[in-house]
Amino acid sequence: MRYLFISDLHLQPERPDITRAFLHCLDTRAREADELYILGDFFEVWLGDDEQSPLANEVINALAKLSGTGTRIYVMHGNRDFLLGRRFCRAAGCTLLPDPHIVQINGEQVLLMHGDSLCTDDLAYMKMRRLLRNPVSLFVLRNLSLAQRRKIGRKLRNESREQTRQKPSDITDVNLGQVAETMRRHGVRTLIHGHTHRPAIHQLVIDGKPAQRIVLGDWDTAGWCLKVDENGYRLESFPLT
Please name which of 24, 27, 33 lies closest in space to residue 5, comparing C-alpha atoms: 33
Q: Is the peptide bond before 100 cis (omega within 30 degrees of 0)?
A: yes
Is 227 annotated in some ligand binding site? Answer: no
Give the burial class of 232: count Cβ atoms within 10 A of its Cβ; 0-12 exposed, 13-18 middle, 19 or more buried: exposed
Find out whether 77 is annotated in a ligand binding site.
no
Task: Tell whether 175 is in a known binding site.
Answer: no
Q: Is 53 annotated as a binding residue?
A: no
Say if residues 99 and 129 touch (Cβ distance below 8 Å). Answer: no
Q: How far is CA 49 from the centre of its chain?
A: 17
Q: What is the CA radius of gyration of the chain?
A: 17
Residue 61 marked as a ligand binder: no
What is d(CA 54, CA 33) in angstroms, rounded to the nearest whole number?
Answer: 27
Residue 229 labeled ligand binder: no
Q: Are 76 and 85 within 8 A, CB to CB?
A: no
Element (H, E) at 91: helix 86-92
41 marked as part of a ligand binding site: yes
For residue 8, say whether it is annotated as part of any ligand binding site. yes
d(CA 157, CA 174): 21
Known binding residue 197? Answer is: yes
Residue 122 in marked binding region: yes
Residue 101 marked in a binding site: no
Nearest residue to 189 via CA among 114, 118, 110: 110
CA quadruple 76, 40, 128, 14: dihedral sign: negative
User: Annotated binding residues for Mn(2+), as ranges?
Assistant: 8, 10, 41, 79, 114, 195, 197
User: Annotated binding residues for substrate, as ranges?
Assistant: 79-80, 122, 160, 164, 167, 195
User: Annotated binding residues, as ranges?
Assistant: 8, 10, 41, 79-80, 114, 122, 160, 164, 167, 195, 197
